[in-house]
Amino acid sequence: MKKNFGILIAGFIIILGVSILFFVQGRDMPGQLPDLSMKQPSDKSDNQTIATKESPLPIPPLLKDHNPDPNKAEFHLNAQNATKEFVPGKKTETMGYNGDYLGPVIRVRKGEEVSVKVKNELDDVTTIHWHGLEVDGDQDGGPHSGIQPGESWSPEFKIEQPAATLWYHPHPEQETGKQVYKGLAGLFLIEDEVSDRLDIPKEYGVDDVPLVLQDKRFNSDGGIDYSLGMRDVMNGLQGDTMLVNGAVNPFLEVPRGMMRLRLLNGSNASVYELNFNNHQSFHQIASDGGFLEKPAKMDKIVLGPAERAEILVDFSDLKKGETVQLNNKGSEFMKFKAKDKNSKDYTIPTNFPTIEKMDPDQAVKTRKFAFGGMGPRVNINGKQFDANRIDEELKINDTEIWEITNESGMGMMGEMVHPFHAHGAQFQVLDRDGNPPPANETGWKDTVLVHPDEKVRVIATFKHPGDFMYHCHILEHEDAGMMGQFKVDK
């Protein structure tokens, strides 16, 4: 008995020592940090470690609207615990909305009045945040809108912004990384008269297909769990196996014609660099907040965590049965297989609506946001998140310039890029280090990558009152405190 107690005490002292070491190391940041995690994550962030047979790409279902009124919509979402086999025969614990992993697609129209009944059937508190949607702070689903296990929350809002590919995900304080990693995320699509009018593919699941891109680190038993090693605390959890709509190694049969792909980087922490293995080019037609003025032709697209892009890809040169792979940093993770000819020939439209450029002279204020610190000490403007502190106060309908800089230090893999995201408004990128933004950043954005030592200036008008978050969208950084709050006063 006494001996057991001694062992217990000794164990406790060792654990205490290791944790102190962690934080002391964290404070001075030597170049080299010991990896204290039991699991040693691999160095290859772009190689697939889990080999599974290819399987058809799952298409997330469109969520049923329970309100018969055409100007209103009512949706039901249950956040629930589940199990899933990413690798056939190997069960792992997951979370999903109305299912075992990810959630259904909510599709609404501009002008609609929307209500959502969200039920929390998890064992933990959760929230649901409409990423990219312009709504009042109390409907936005930030950390203040916690839903206790067994309880429900019913936000209501009117859709007042143009057609776009947005998404929803949980936002509970310090638990966002885990809940998203376990599977809580879904797409939120807005349609309007412009998306109706444009001659682009729009048959959902056929030639208008969402691709929710994520990466996981699988255990040797084929399961996933959310346990952070030192490297993950520094860089965010970066997996080595890509998932598309929750599937490893998927394929999609495509018409030999134009495809519209709605890409979401739904990862916790990874920046994706996507291209096709046949090096064919494609056109980006929409960014986070909606259509671009002009399609941007590219042969590679970089997407940071939480960023979205709609692209048009022309597969009409493929022969029947031919395949094209989608790559991340040169590694293939998804296959497109050409089937019969598409019934309709599309060209890249030129009649996208103009986006009125916001005028920096209209801004009443310039605010600065500096990413700083690393690991457990990541911060913005030297401050870590405090739910009881409002960091910035704004006036409703004011236009402001936000100047975001990255002064943080080295991650485990070198200098870190941080994706900046603000709730409550879509913004325009004014410049990057004084230079005009690239073509695919000339439209509406809600998340921008900020590279080491870079200065990105964005401009926005804040049309909704309430409390909102701004933060790094590397979820482990957000959870560690790289987040602040702003209040928009009526």
Contact footprint for ligand C2O (CB under 6 A): 129, 131, 169, 171, 306, 421, 423, 469, 471, 473
* Position 418 contacts Cu ion (CB under 5 A): yes
* Strands, E assignment, 289-356: 290-298, 301-303, 308-314, 323-328, 331-341
Q: Which is nearer to Cu ion, 109 or 423 (CB)?
A: 423
Partner touching 306 among ligand C2O, Cu ion, none, CB below 5 to 8 Å by kind:
ligand C2O
Partner touching 294 among ligand C2O, Cu ion, none, CB below 5 to 8 Å by kind:
none
Tell me which DSSP letter residue 376 carries.
Answer: G
* Position 473 contacts Cu ion (CB under 5 A): no
Q: Which two tokens stand for residue 382?
A: 């030297």
- Nearest-CA neighbor of 369 among 444, 427, 303, 288? 427
Partner touching 471 among ligand C2O, Cu ion, none, CB below 5 to 8 Å by kind:
ligand C2O
Cα separation, 185 vs 95, whole angstroms = 9
Smallest gap from Cβ 422 to ligand C2O, in A, equals 8
Cα separation, 268 vs 181, whole angstroms = 7
Q: Could you tell me if 167 and 186 are in contact, meaning their C-beta atoms sit under 8 angstroms apart?
A: yes
Q: Could you tell me if 271 and 303 are in contact, meaning their C-beta atoms sit under 8 angstroms apart?
A: yes
* Residues in binding contact with Cu ion, number by CB under 5 A: 6
Tell me which DSSP letter residue 316 carries.
Answer: T
Smallest gap from Cβ 351 to ligand C2O, in A, equals 31
Task: Tell me whether strands 250-256 and 331-341 are parallel, antiparallel or unpaired.
Answer: parallel
Residue 296 three-state SS: strand
Cα separation, 269 vs 418, whole angstroms = 9
Smallest gap from Cβ 185 to ligand C2O, in A, equals 9
Smallest gap from Cβ 128 to ligand C2O, in A, equals 11
Q: Which is nearer to Cu ion, 342 or 426 (CB)?
A: 426
Partner touching 169 among Cu ion, ligand C2O, none, CB below 5 to 8 Å by kind:
ligand C2O
Residue that has been written with the tokens 């692209």 in this structure: 311
**Which ranges of 137-229 does DSSP label H, i.e. alpha helix?**
176-182, 193-197
H helices, E strands: number in the chain:
5, 33
Smallest gap from Cβ 357 to ligand C2O, in A, equals 26
Binding mask 123-142 for Cu ion (x = CB under 5 A): --------x-----------
Cα separation, 381 vs 111, whole angstroms = 37
Smallest gap from Cβ 436 to ligand C2O, in A, equals 26
Q: Which is nearer to ligand C2O, 144 or 455 (CB)?
A: 144
Smallest gap from Cβ 419 to Cu ion, in A, equals 7
Partner touching 418 among ligand C2O, Cu ion, none, CB below 5 to 8 Å by kind:
Cu ion
- Only one of the segments 215-223, 280-288, 412-420, 448-456 lies at the binding site for Cu ion (rule: CB under 5 A); that segment is 412-420
> Which residue ranges make up the site for Cu ion (CB under 5 A)?
131, 418, 423, 472, 474, 477
